[in-house]
A and B are shown apart, each in its own frame.
Chain A
Amino acid sequence: MSLRLTVSNISRNYNGKPVLKDCSFAFDSGCIYLLLGPNGSGKSTFLRICALLEDTDSGEVNFVEDNTPLDSPLVRDTTPLNPPLVRDTTPPSPPLLRGGVRGGILKKDIHLKRRISLVLPKIGIFNTTVFKNVAYGLKIRGFKKKEVEEKADRVLESVGLIHKKDFNALTLSSGETQRLGIARAMVIEPEILFLDEPTASLDPHSTTIIEETINKLRKHNRLTIIMVTHNIFQAKRLADRVLFMYDGKILDHGPNRDFFEKPKDERTYRFITGQMVY
């Protein structure tokens, strides 16, 4: 079982200024999605709304159970990929989806919220040890002490922070803090993991460690990762599918290679070739 996320016609205004304009998308489970776009394009707002941290002004965010086997064929391939440059602004077509049995829309209660997790760009570190930071999500779910220790240690090991488990988390470097943020989310084994620019302001070494961690998660059965970045190269390295946001809209999307090799919108082309001025 896993979760499938669908957003339908969501819009959001901040102080009367539209930040998201009628965005719709259906995320397939078990994929890594990278949300690309220039600053101020609405990526983070979109992510926060998808992660149920913010409400929409209109439209819907829905989660449904997905019982489809991962190896089932992809259906509804309606994404037109040619010609590569199309000078129109019509909304993109629905993405590839796996067919199969799906349950009804899930209620947005604490049970659903506990099946997803969001790593914010600024990690809200609790003023306690690294271990207790990681254990937090497990403790609030009522896990037993032994289980908490085992799971937290395993995750700390995988992000390379086990040697710092008894350190005060506020003493960690930026890269370590970011890894701790991911570890804290990983330990609760979410079915959808939202990452908001986890490598922004990190050096190349720390970025590599974070990307390796994300790649390890890729092997996790059924985990969907939706990550915001404005780093094109990172999107190329990590994404199964890429979405391009511009001016509060999802302008373009597609599988990794198609997205970068055959962009459907001129603005996408300008962005990925570094020609966009904004």
Chain B
Amino acid sequence: MESIIEGFRRAFFLIFNLDAELLSIIFLSLKVSGLALIIATVIGLSLGSLIGLKRFPFRGIIISLMNTFMGLPPVVVGLFLYLILSRSGPLGFMSLLYTPSAMVTAQSILAFPIVASLCHSAIISVDPIIKQSSMTLGATPFQVITTIMKEARYGIMSGVIAAFGRVMAEVGAILIVGGNIAGYTRVMTTTIALETDKGNFELALALGIILLTLSLIVNMVLHLIQKKGMISK
């Protein structure tokens, strides 16, 4: 018990003293996850909107695949990406393995189905009368689409925030393709895993506290967005 308390004491010491190593890890984590989230949002939003707004052949198969990909095991994604990016793999010539770019790719693959699926759900749950109403008011086809997207905005935002939660908490895939290289590809989650293995709990705990705080902030933002979306007089 004492060692845990001591671990927490040292962790808070690291946080409040703005430890350089700690800051660089946090910064890299936010950079990798932020970039992955942007890519996942662009792909997910486009795909989700397409299948939410249009009817075309094989749409049902795409929806099923997307829902399946929402639960992709990170280590499996990491493994496949490793095989593709390794020297002997089809994209080996790009020398991306063990770089932050590989980590961004892995996280984007894991996150985009979440954005796409939740975006699709948000769009199809918009009352069809909204589409007709905007048409009767003289909206162009593009304006009709933006109106529907606007109506689905809270659901779409929930998808983006859920995807952010996933990328921030991800460890399996980025450990495989990033290699956990200190100062280069070491992020919060991989550091926690490593430091716990080493029995060095203070840094792991400090990062754990920060991750939890970030998660709390993200959830609060989500709550605020959803609250704003509710009807209020």
Contacts and interface: CB of A to CB of B under 8 A. Distances in A.
Interface stretch (A109-117, A214-222, A230-238, A261-269): A109-117
Interface string B141-162: 0010001001100000000000
A127 interface: yes
B135 A53 contact: yes
B127 A124 contact: yes
A184 B129 CA distance: 15
Interface in B129-146: 129-140, 143
SS class of chain B's interface: helix, strand, loop or mixed? Answer: helix
B233 interface: yes
Given A126-B151, A168-B233, A171-B231, A140 B139 contact: yes
Interface residues of B, number: 21
B138 A137 contact: yes
B89 interface: no
B136 A127 contact: no
A124 B131 CA distance: 8
Interface in A85-144: 110, 113-114, 117-120, 122-127, 136-137, 140-141
Interface residues of A, number: 26
B232 interface: yes
A110 B138 contact: yes
Interface string B210-233: 000000000000000000010111
Contacts of B139: 140
B218 to A, nearest CB: 23
Given A126-B147, A137-B138, A120 B133 contact: yes
B134 A167 contact: no
Given A167-B233, A168-B232, A188 B138 contact: yes
Which of B137, B139, B147 has the most A CB atoms < 10 Å from its CB? B137
Interface in A26-63: 51, 53
Given A167-B233, A168-B232, A53 B138 contact: no
Contacts of A118: 136
A53 B229 CA distance: 29
A122 B129 contact: yes
A185 interface: yes
Given A117-B136, A123-B133, A140-B138, 20 more contacts: A110-B138, A117-B137, A118-B136, A119-B136, A120-B132, A120-B133, A123-B129, A124-B134, A126-B130, A126-B147, A126-B150, A127-B151, A127-B231, A136-B137, A136-B147, A137-B138, A167-B233, A170-B231, A171-B231, A171-B232
Interface of B: 127, 129-140, 143, 147, 150-151, 229, 231-233
- Which 5 A/B pairs are nearest by Cβ-Cβ distance? A124-B133, A124-B129, A114-B138, A118-B136, A137-B137
